[in-house]
Amino acid sequence: MSAEIEIDGLDELMDSLKKLPHKMSSKMILKAQRKAAKPLVKSAQSKAPVSNITRVDWYGKRRTIHPGDLKKSIGTIKGRNKTNPTTFVGPKVSRGRKRKHDAWYAHFPEFGTDGYTVKKGPLKGKFFPGQPAQPYMRPAYDETKDEVLDVLGDELGKIVHDHFKKTLK
């Protein structure tokens, strides 16, 4: 899911941010991005589907999926790019380490799944219906994108203003 966003005055803001010390500007930009993402996180959490039963997953090792794990896993994730601070919003996945609310299955409710027929084994020929899509991230984004951009612009403006206020003293 990608979107094109146009912000007036972005070039001037980016020039001002480039004048900030790199370490400070990266930290401050990430902080501003996290603050701006809060409405999106709250909206996505409120729209995330919640199961009414506990499931057990046996892919490799036993993991229990509790009702509400998807909702609790949605948050901000810091990007790995050192030169361009980035913040992602979405379900957190463990990638090998244990996490209390691991939502590795988050794409299934968002986009849905196809039905399938078992081809071999004792259930050969049995049809399992797919899961219909229950989007939660896209509607949350559509609902909060203007608010996120407003907060991000305000926060970045504060960063630049505060820095130049300190340096001009």
Q: Is residue 117 part of a domain?
A: yes
Name the residue among 115, 104, 78, 106 with its Cα closest to residue 1.
106
Q: Is residue 5 part of a domain?
A: no
How many domains would you assign to the chain? 1
Name the residue among 109, 140, 145, 146 with its Cα closest to residue 46.
140
Name the residue among 126, 134, 135, 130 with its Cα closest to residue 114.
130
Helix (H, G, I), strand (E, B) or coil at 90: strand
Element (H, E) at 32: helix 22-47
CA atoms within 13 A on the CB side of 26: 11
Instruction: Compute φ and ψ for 4, nearest 5 degrees.
Output: -100, 130
Domain of 135 in residue numbering reads as 10-167
Helix (H, G, I), strand (E, B) or coil at 130: coil
Q: Is residue 1 part of a domain?
A: no
pTM for this one?
0.75
Q: Is residue 47 part of a domain?
A: yes
pLDDT tens, N- to C-terminus, the chain (169 residues): 555 656 666 677 667 666 666 656 788 888 999 999 999 999 999 999 888 878 776 666 667 777 888 888 899 988 888 778 889 999 987 766 566 667 888 888 999 999 999 999 999 999 999 889 999 999 999 999 999 999 998 988 888 777 777 766 6
